[in-house]
């Protein structure tokens, strides 16, 4: 999609669990060529929202649309097929397999034969295409030097980037990242921010769900702030940072 085009949109998305409103009429959209950050304290409802916009869970009320299509009741593979790529809050890699194997799994998701057939080398042409696509994403993410290294032996910062490469191998238009900076060292955060800046320039729509305020302040074009499931602020980093409700939420005031 062209820069500025709305790729993902949530309208009045509400999620109720027994006795608890985890998301309360949340509105937000993500556009091609931007980083939109969703931030908020622990328990604010970020992961709940993330699950609904990636098809893992259904809203109790409200609408999610992707590439202009209403996604109500559709499974997560339908979101992936329409161009949604994601990473998980906790790294999900096959630790004893190489970076290349892990990223190839992301490319198989878009393959015609399915990854099981390809892993069995039922179709050598498809296998070769998948590996070359995986390698392209590995290079794009600056992981060329560790392509053949077992994923588990990499530092956490690089494992997170492997997860991004794996998502990119599915050719997404929108990339959703759940707390990509959590647990990273300062230099790793800088490396991650640099990669996301590059992907944004390449036209991807990026939604970062983050607990780390400082990380998103330097990176995001727009920020939406959640507290107790409700949007309390939305705007540029400067606008959000100056908002008294945001300051109170973050300082516990
Ligand atoms: P965050 O990711 O911002 O830390 P979550 O979305 O994980 O917040 O949680 C928001 C609130 O919803 C929390 O109070 C959490 O305990 C609750 N919650 C999350 N998932 C469930 C669930 N499956 N069942 C009941 N409550 C849940
Ligand atoms: Mg969470």
CA distance 214 to 172: 27
H/E element, 237: helix 237-241
The pLDDT of residue 118: 53
pLDDT digits (tens, 9 = 90+) for 60-83: 999 999 999 999 999 999 999 999
Angle CA 63–73–62, to nearest 5:
20
Q: What is the ipTM of this complex?
A: 0.98
Residue 98 is classified by DSSP as: B
User: How many independent structural domains does the chain possess?
Assistant: 2
- pLDDT tens for each residue of 166-193: 999 999 999 999 999 999 999 999 999 9
Lowest mean pLDDT among 6-20, 46-60, 105-119, 226-240: 105-119
Mean pLDDT, the chain, integer = 91
Q: 145 and 71, same structural domain?
A: no
Check whether 23 has a pLDDT greater than 90. Answer: yes
CA 46 / ligand 2 centre spacing (Å): 5
Mutational pocket test of ligand 1: of 24, 45, 56, the residue with most ligand atoms within 8 Å of the beta carbon: 45
- 90 falls within a domain: no
Mutate to test the pocket of ligand 1, among 15, 44, 48 (most ligand atoms within 8 A of CB): 48
Q: Is residue 14 part of a domain?
A: yes
pLDDT in tens, 117-173: 555 655 777 888 889 999 999 999 999 999 999 999 999 999 999 999 999 999 999
- For residue 112, the model assigns a pLDDT of 47
> Contact 178/47 with Cβ under 8 angstroms?
yes
Asked if the model's pLDDT at residue 203 lies above 50, the reply is yes
**Beta carbons within 8 Å of 34's beta carbon, 6+ residues apart:** 4, 200, 205, 206, 221, 222
Task: Inform me whether the pLDDT recorded for 10 exceeds 50.
Answer: yes
Domain boundary among 171, 195, 225: 171
For ligand 1, the distance from its centroid to the CA atom of residue 222, given in whole angstroms, is 24
pTM above 0.90, yes or no: yes
Q: How many residues does the chain have?
A: 253
Residue 219 has pLDDT above 80, yes or no: yes
Choosing from 171, 203, 219, the residue where a domain stops is 171
In terms of residue numbers, what domain contains 211? 1-83+172-253
What average pLDDT does the segment 13-37 reach?
A: 97
Q: The CATH number of the domain where 33 resides is what?
A: 3.40.50.300
């Amino acid at each position: 999609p062209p820069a500025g085009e709305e790729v993902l949109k949530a309208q009045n998305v509400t999620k109720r669990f027994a006795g608890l409103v985890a998301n309360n009429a949340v509105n937000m959209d993500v556009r091609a060529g931007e980083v939109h950050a969703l931030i908020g304290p622990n328990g604010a409802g970020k992961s709940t929202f993330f699950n609904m916009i990636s098809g893992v869970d259904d809203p109790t009320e409200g609408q999610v649309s992707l590439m202009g299509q209403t996604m109500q009741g559709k499974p997560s593979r339908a979101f992936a097929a329409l161009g949604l790529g994601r990473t998980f809050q906790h790294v999900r890699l096959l630790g004893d397999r190489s970076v290349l194997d892990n990223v190839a799994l992301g490319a198989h998701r878009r393959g015609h034969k399915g990854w099981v057939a390809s892993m069995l080398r039922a179709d050598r042409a498809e296998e070769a295409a998948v590996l070359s696509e995986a390698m392209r994403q590995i290079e794009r993410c600056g992981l060329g030097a560790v392509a053949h290294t077992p994923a588990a032996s990499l530092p956490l910062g690089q494992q997170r980037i492997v997860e991004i490469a794996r998502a990119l191998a599915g050719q997404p238009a929108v990339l959703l990242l759940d707390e990509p900076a959590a647990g990273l060292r300062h230099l790793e955060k800088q490396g991650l921010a640099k990669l996301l800046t590059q992907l944004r320039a390449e036209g991807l729509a990026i939604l970062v769900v983050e607990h780390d305020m400082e990380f998103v302040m330097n990176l995001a074009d727009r920020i939406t702030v959640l507290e107790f499931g409700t949007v309390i602020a939305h705007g540029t980093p400067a606008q959000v940072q100056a908002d008294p409700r945001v300051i109170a939420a973050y300082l516990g005031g």
